[in-house]
Structure 1
């Protein structure tokens, strides 16, 4: 049986886990592909992410209509792959029908936090870093742990997020080609 194209690949990880970098590098490796990034959208969703997670973290509470519209549009283009920087794997009922392969980049929380600080606080005062770390300890860490309990086990492939980006991309590419 011939595989349908384009193949939709979802890349998930905790914040700072490498989703955006891996998605961008994967696009360079997979010919005839396009990318969509979750953070490029302004979705209607929970006002307080940690309260949302504490109350079960149901991905269907997010209105992902703008992303779904863009996925549908790309599905009609002559592409081989659509790569989504997307935090929910198969758990959002309205997007799951489009996803063919979900990857979870399993990055240790300390590494993800260090990456976030480097990325988000490069030109900000140390006080901002300390406030963010306090928030992480008091509330944010629960969100990261929630992903590990829900998104990770609902992914087709789990990749070690401490590996070099080129190796992560090669592992994902090999698995996608083997799935075809």
Structure 2
């Protein structure tokens, strides 16, 4: 019996990593893979990629796929992916059993990112980060709301307490497994 593969998606600052870590603790005999731990070949210019239709196949996800295939051979109950594309990329899609979109309001996600990424930064760096969000980053977030959220099996309110989000996901997994 192969492990049940769960994909968790959210905008940056949406809570993916926190939820994946908590799910991994709650779901017995599980392992996790984190998208940010990889250096993928992909579009050089995200805005150009968005303007060209956000073709997810342009990302070479081979490193993630390799690790996922290894985990699929292990005697695990669950594999949890911190993975932003839900079912949008054919290379990974066939291995995913269930996708979750953590629907975190963009202002909350931005505040979390600022808190996380700019703790020891100068005011100038913080302002540059905000400018980048307004001029570029927000468009990527909106793309996820337009394409990844509706492509997911469930959407969970990202403002709920972490434990409540984890419990909602676990309840849904029990029903579909």
Runs in 1 of length 4+ with deviation above 4 angstroms? none
Q: How far apart, CA to CA, are the structure 1 residues paired with 2:51 and 2:145?
A: 14
Match of 2:30 in 1: 33
SS in 1 for 2:68: helix
The answer (yes or no) to whether the contact 2:56–2:89 under 8 Å persists in 1 is yes
Gaps of 5+ in 1: none
Aligned with 1:65 (options 56, 62, 67) = 62
TM-score, length of structure 2 as denominator length: 0.98
TM-score, length of structure 1 as denominator length: 0.97
* Aligned: 1:143 with 2:140: yes
SS in 1 for 2:138: helix
Query: What are the within-5 Å matches in structure 2 for residues 109-124 of structure 1?
Result: 109-124=106-121
Match of 1:89 in 2: 86
Aligned with 1:12 (options 9, 14, 19) = 9
Summarize deviations over 1:32-60 as a string: whole Å, max 9, x none. 00000000000100111122112111111
Deviation at 1:113, TM superposition (A): 0.1
Cα RMSD, aligned residues only = 0.7
Match of 1:45 in 2: 42
Aligned length: 177
Summarize deviations over 1:50-102 as a string: whole Å, max 9, x none. 22112111111000001001111000000000000000000001100000000
Deviation at 1:5, TM superposition (A): 3.0
Match of 2:21 in 1: 24
Deviation at 1:153, TM superposition (A): 0.3
The answer (yes or no) to whether the contact 2:2–2:73 under 8 Å persists in 1 is no
Q: How far apart, CA to CA, are the structure 2 residues paired with 1:41 and 1:134?
A: 26
